[in-house]
Every structure is written in structure tokens, then in C-alpha cells.
Structure 1
Amino acid sequence: MKIYCVGGAIRDELLGQPVKDRDWVVVGATPEALLAEGFRPVGKDFPVFLHPRSQEEYALARTERKTAPGYAGFVFHTDASVSLEEDLARRDLTINAMARGPDGELVDPYGGQADLAARVFRHVSPAFAEDPVRILRLARFAARFADFRVAPETLALMRAMVADGEVDALVPERVWQELAKGLMEARPSRMLEVLRECGALARLLPEFDRLFGVPQPAAHHPEIDCGIHALLVIDAAAQAGHPLPVRFACLLHDLGKGVTPGHVLPHHYGHEAASERLARQVCERLKSPSDCRDLALMTAREHGIVHQALQLRPETMVKLIERCDGLRRPERFVAMLDACVCDARGRAGFEARPYPQQQHLLDALAAVRGVDAGAIARGLADKSKIAESVHAARVAAVKARPSDKDTKIDSFSAGERQ
């Protein structure tokens, strides 16, 4: 029995990056032998065991055979005769198909180290085409290792998989899982670019894919293309270190521009309502978590008016805060403002431009939350006037804030809401 550390741990070690998790492959052993050593079985489809002390996963060397469409249609074979090279051959990319033995020697039968040096994603074997999840995984790796390129032969294989309908067999939960992981990487735009390049984006996120090639006013969008703008916004969210709900909101905030008149004319009046409708469609299809869904819908609907915050009357600001449930959910309102900052700065040359609308609305939110609704209610003889009186007090509190007219200079203006 021999034990090898395999996969991502070896890749990250060779790249000089921190190793978070280690996976182990056991060659020349049986389930009974591992049980006798105190390992605990956890695998459902094939034998995987937890180490009795470290709790790390140890899998018996295995091979696999495709038996049905999709990512779940596999039969796995394990026994003591399966070699390490056979086990590594079933892995997705050469950079993930390396191992290190107990003596420290690197085992690299498929050229993973050379591809790491060349910054190339290359499939290990034609078996890559049997599992559509590998398209998502490769795209996610592109978001993590942004300077890597996809080998031409691997890209051709991915395109053939899309054409053969393999991507259509992916279940929503798995698509969401990989998409969410990719959004949390350093350059999530690379994930979307790779998916688009192989044709998978049009099948998985057609609402987003539709944005590419759609123009916007060059004065407010030097990048012009709606799809490119969306990529810049997502990367701005990643650069700012925002959590997944904000990044997902940035992904979906402008979907309406693919269907509003701006796809013919360079203006997209009313795209917010269309964006909300399409964002809801995406969330339902992907079964996204409620926190991601709610923030995405709110951002899609409200980002245009948030961009106009410096020109809004106190009454309108209070209505915006109430409509967004900012009193009960202030943290979500703040997250929406974070997404709007990314939208404003996700434009070529606008990356460091001031966005005073954020602080303007944060101050308004603080003023509104400072109103004691209970005290107002207790002081009213006519209880039917409570809602009206509380609302009026909130408007008055926003009006009473110190003037911030000077912050409007050189800011992201109302004319740039597109």
C-alpha cells in the first residue's frame, strides 16, 4: 500500500501558493485494509475514507467509465491493481494530475508541471468530454489563475461538448455551486469569458451572454459594450473584496440592456425593470440562495435611482429606503450601495472616480433610522395617522441633515445612470 498527495495541493505548492486542502490517493489497498487502520468510510459512489487523526480524505485509486449523459452518469472501479497513473488519467487538467509520494518525488505522467510553467489549461485525455462539470471547473480555475490560457485543443473539445448538449444536462445546483465559487475568485470576469468562448455561457446564462455586442453611450461608458461593462463591474466587486451576494448582484444588475431599445439605440431607458425581471428568471433557474436573490433583484431595480441620489428630494430618498426595507434590513441596503459603487466604477477609466452618492444615502439612512417611530405613535391621539406621521418625520430628518452640495463636483452624475 502506497499513499500519494494528489491534485490541487501539488499544483498550488508548485505555484508557490498556500495549500488549503490536501487530497490523498491510496494505491494497492482494499477498503478492508483501510478500515483495519482505523479509517472511516464516507464515500457513496466510490470508496473514500477519513483519516482517523487528520480527518483528511483518502480515496482508493480508481478508474471510471461513462454510462449515461451528464455529470452523474459514471461507474467507478477500484481495486488494488489500479495504478497511480491510471487514477491520474481520469482527472480533468494536467495541472491537477500530479502527485507526490511519501519519498517526496513528484509524479507527473501527463506534463502538468510544464503546463504550469506555460500557464496553460490542458485536458489530460479525451475523457474530459464525458463530464460537463469540467467546463465549469476550468472556467472557475481561469478566474483564480487569470494569466492562464486554455489550450486550443481543450477549447475545441469544450465547444464540441456544448454542441453535443452535455452542458444542458447540468443540474441547477451544480451550476450555482461552480458559478458562486468562480465569482469569489480574484478575476471572476475570466470565468465568464471562458464560458462565452466555448459557447457554454449562452446555454447557462443566456441573459448575460446577450449583453455582448450591445452598445451604450460612449460618454458615460468608454468601454461601450454592455457585456464588457458587466465584466468590469464584477471585477470591481472582487477587487473591493465584497461577499458573494454583492458580486452576484453585480453580475445581474444590467441584464435588461440586452432587451431594451438600447440594443438598437445607444440608450437603455427603463432597463432597470427589465433587469429585475430577467434577474428573477436567472435566480429561479439556478435556485440561488435567498440572500443572493434578494440583493440581486433590489440592485437591478434600484441602481438607476441610486446613481441619481444627489439630485433626489428628501421625500424620494425616504421612499427609496422604505421600499428597500432599509429600516429592518439596513445591511442589505448598504450592500446594494456597494454594488452600485462597483457599477459606477466598472467603466474604462472610471475605476477611481468619486461616488458621493453612497455616503449621501448612508447619511439619509442614518437620519431615517434615528426617527423614534414608537414615540411618535404614542404621542398621537388619532392612531390612523401613525404611518403618515412617521413618514413625515423621516422626511424632515433627511431634510435636516447638513448640506453636501459641494460633493456633487466631479462626481458620478445623474446623466451617467445608464
Structure 2
Amino acid sequence: MSTGFRRYLVGGAVRDRLLGLPVQERDWVVVGSTPEDMAARGYKPVGKDFPVFLDPHTGEEHALARTERKSGRGYQGFAFHTGPDVTLEDDLRRRDLTVNAIAEDEHGTLVDPYGGVRDLQARQLRHVSEAFVEDPVRVLRLARFAARFAPLGFHVAEETQALLRQIVASGEVDHLVPERVWQEMKKALATAAPSVFFTTLRDCGALARVLPELAALSGVPQRADYHPEVDSLVHTLLCVDVAARLGYGLPVRYSALVHDLGKALTPRAEWPSHRMHDVRGVPLVEAFSARLRVPAEYRDLAVVHTREHLLIHRAMELRPMTLVELLERLHAFRPGERFEQVLQAALSDARGRLGFEDADYPQAPYLREARAIAATLQARDVLAQTPELQGPAIGARLRELRAAALKPWRAARATPPA
């Protein structure tokens, strides 16, 4: 058994502890050891591409210190080397950012050969070495870290921004598989400032390469009386940040992100108006979701919101029958969260405008109240009145009864108090 075995806590666990943040999981790097040595110590091998082992007592991952060499295109084009000769500094050097290249031994002593602690104090995201340009996933990871730590005042170092542009120019980001883009984007949507993920990608040119449907919104103007921010991409990112600020779930944040993709297809002659962008947007949302392998729950909500968001905003103008039909399409009479999620996405859209971040959105309670009244009538009420009806005729009659119930309610709401 090797006598050089030493293990160090690395990565996010060290970084987050130093920032005073909760530590979600702990990863270790082991130096002076071999796979045989690890197995003899009781560690269980789980790594496919390089030696990773689980601690038999804690279940925490322990990876053998390794170096890597670029051997092909894309993020999988690397050859790895492990062995007792690989030092901790060698292993930390292959990491992406200095704040992720800090280690801590079992006595709590920090090992920081690349200035990660200094960069934490300076609130700076900076690459460890020029090898940063070899892995295109680092563009996505950096953008995600920028979003996660933006509320703490972090920024991307200028020299690292230059490397991001270099990666894009080299064509490396074109080799990112859609599933990996979605993995990083999903994590970014879960942060408090998801817009920073997309602006970081935009600023280095990567957004147009990996998420061209979103990049196409940049520079597309909207009517300033409705949208003081004017730019369609700016509006989109404001919507996502509103959804994040209000603590809405990831499906709602995704829906807020893609609901206006159709504005990129508006003929320039019609700018700054965007008639039919809801209809034009549905196929784009479906294709975008399919390409990134977005879960069906996210996709289906985004499609409903994209198709109906303009009508939701006009809900208080709708006639009773149109209102009932809208409620049906919003899944208001079905079990599940879809109806509330659509209302959350619509509110995020309404508030995702400069100066409207805390604006009231009466359409949401209006639709909830309309749903409650309409839902008092069910198919059994139709059959009690007209037992001879069958099939679609039952649904049509139920729709009529619900509209009739909404008519006096709607009239009363429209009548000012005496």
C-alpha cells in the first residue's frame, strides 16, 4: 500500500465555505495513490473516464489527482494521466477558475497556488491558465458562475473575457452538444440572476452559436410605450429575472425565457409592433425545446404560455364564452399546477419591463376568480338538465353554462360602485 496517500477537499466546497455559503456537497482529490491503493483502502471505483472512488463511510467522491492534454475537438477531446507522480498543484492547474482551484487539507490548511482566495476577495472570476481555452464547456460554466455569484458582486476578469471570445472564434463552442447546453442553462435558471448567464454568453459571441433563437431577439425593437426597455432580448431577460426574484419554479422561468421568440420573425416593416408573434413563436419554442432536450413539463408550459400570453393580458376584456375557452386551454379545470404556472409566467412577462418591476397584475386574480365560478359547474350538471346529450355535445353545453354563470359576474365587476 502506498505511503504517499494524501487527500484534499477541493472545488465548490472550499469556495462556498470561504464565501460563507452553504456547502452542498464535498469532493476530494487524492495524491500519491493508485487505483489499486484506493481499492485496498476500501474505496469503491465509480469513474468511467478517469479514476473516481467513493469513500466507504461517507459516500463522498475521491478522484485521483490528474493532468489532462487536449487530444481532439470539443469538451470530450482530452487525454488524462493519473499516477503517484501527479501533484496537487498539477491537478489544480487543470481546473477552470482560480476560485475553484483552492484546496484544503484534512487539518483545514488552504493550498492556493493560483490566487483563488485573492480573487474571492476581489469578487473576480478569472481563469487558472491558458488551457482554459481548450474546453468549450467552460464558457457555459463561467456564464453560470457569473449568474450565481452576481448578487455577491462578482465579475468576469477582462483577460478571461478575452479568452471567452477566443474560444468562440476558434469554433470550439460549435462542438457543444445540446444536452450539455441545457444542463448548464437549467442550473443558471435556478440562480437569483439568470439574465447574467445569457448576457455573459452574448458579450463573448457565444449566445449566437449555442442559443441562436435568443440571440436573434437582440436589437429587435418593441413599442416604447409598452416596453420602455425597447430591445426584445432585454425584455426577455428582465422577465426571467422577475420570475427568479419571485421564487417561481424552473418551468416558469424557462417559459418566461422563450415566450417571445416569435418577435425575431416579425418582418422589419412591421417594427416596432409584433402582431402574430404569439402564433409565430409556438413552432420556435417547440423546436428550441426539442433541440435542447428540454423536459416535457417545461416545453408544454412554455408552448401554452407563448400561445396564450397576449390573450391572458387582455383577460378582463374578454366575453364570457371567450374567457371560458381560454380557461380550458390554460388547463384551469384540470388537476395539477399548469394553470398557476401560466399565470406566474404571464405576471413575469408583465413585470419584465423597465419601470414595471413591481406593477400590479389584476389579470391573475381575475382569472382565478373566473375559474372558481366556472368550476362550480361540471358535466354532471349538464346531464342532470339534458340527459340525452352525449360525447362532445356535453362539453359544448358545459361551456355554455359556464359562460352564462360568468356573465353577471363580469357585468358586476365592470359596473362602478354607487
TM-score computed with the length of structure 2 as normaliser = 0.94
Distance 1:173 1:370, change over 3 A: same
Return the offset for 1:406.
7.9
Aligned residues: 407
- What's the CA shift string for 1:298-327, capped at 9, x where partnerless? 111111000001111111111112223332
8 Å contact 1:261–1:267 — kept in the other structure?
A: no
With 186-195 and 47-56 compared, the bigger mean Cα shift is at: 47-56
With 148-157 and 378-387 compared, the bigger mean Cα shift is at: 378-387
Return the offset for 1:329.
4.7
- What's the CA shift string for 1:251-300, capped at 9, x where partnerless? 00111112213676221111111121211121111010000000111111
Gaps of 5+ in 1: 408-418
Supply the distance in 2 between the matched residues of 1:25 and 1:15 (Cα, whole angstroms). Answer: 21
* 1:117 and 2:126 correspond: no
Return the offset for 1:150.
1.5
8 Å contact 2:15–2:99 — kept in the other structure?
A: yes
Map 1:354-365 → 2, pairs under 5 A: 354-365=360-371
Return the offset for 1:387.
2.2
Counterpart of 1:76 (choices 53, 60, 80) is: 80
SS at match of 1:71: coil
Supply the distance in 1 between the matched residues of 2:149 and 2:244 (Cα, whole angstroms). Answer: 14
Supply the distance in 2 between the matched residues of 1:51 and 1:404 (Cα, whole angstroms). Answer: 65
8 Å contact 1:262–1:268 — kept in the other structure?
A: no
Distance 1:282 1:288, change over 3 A: same
**Map of 2:107 onto structure 1:** 103
Return the offset for 1:183.
0.5
- What's the CA shift string for 1:131-171, capped at 9, x where partnerless? 11111000000110112221222111111211221111111
SS at match of 1:63: strand
8 Å contact 2:126–2:156 — kept in the other structure?
A: yes
Letter in 2 for 1:391: R
* 1:308 and 2:314 correspond: yes
8 Å contact 2:330–2:342 — kept in the other structure?
A: no
Aligned-CA RMSD value: 1.6
Distance 1:406 1:23, change over 3 A: farther
Counterpart of 1:397 (choices 401, 405, 414) is: 405
Letter in 1 for 2:413: D
With 375-384 and 41-50 compared, the bigger mean Cα shift is at: 375-384
Supply the distance in 2 between the matched residues of 1:8 and 1:318 (Cα, whole angstroms). Answer: 50
Supply the distance in 2 between the matched residues of 1:369 and 1:178 (Cα, whole angstroms). Answer: 40
Supply the distance in 2 between the matched residues of 1:205 and 1:382 (Cα, whole angstroms). Answer: 54
SS at match of 2:337: helix
Counterpart of 1:145 (choices 136, 145, 149) is: 149
8 Å contact 2:93–2:128 — kept in the other structure?
A: yes
* 1:57 and 2:55 correspond: no
Return the offset for 1:342.
0.5
**Map of 2:25 onto structure 1:** 21
Return the offset for 1:388.
2.1
Letter in 1 for 2:107: D
Distance 1:187 1:156, change over 3 A: same
TM-score computed with the length of structure 1 as normaliser = 0.94
With 234-243 and 216-225 compared, the bigger mean Cα shift is at: 216-225
Letter in 2 for 1:52: P
Letter in 2 for 1:370: T
Return the offset for 1:51.
0.9
Map 1:167-182 → 2, pairs under 5 A: 167-182=173-188
* 1:35 and 2:39 correspond: yes
Gaps of 5+ in 2: none
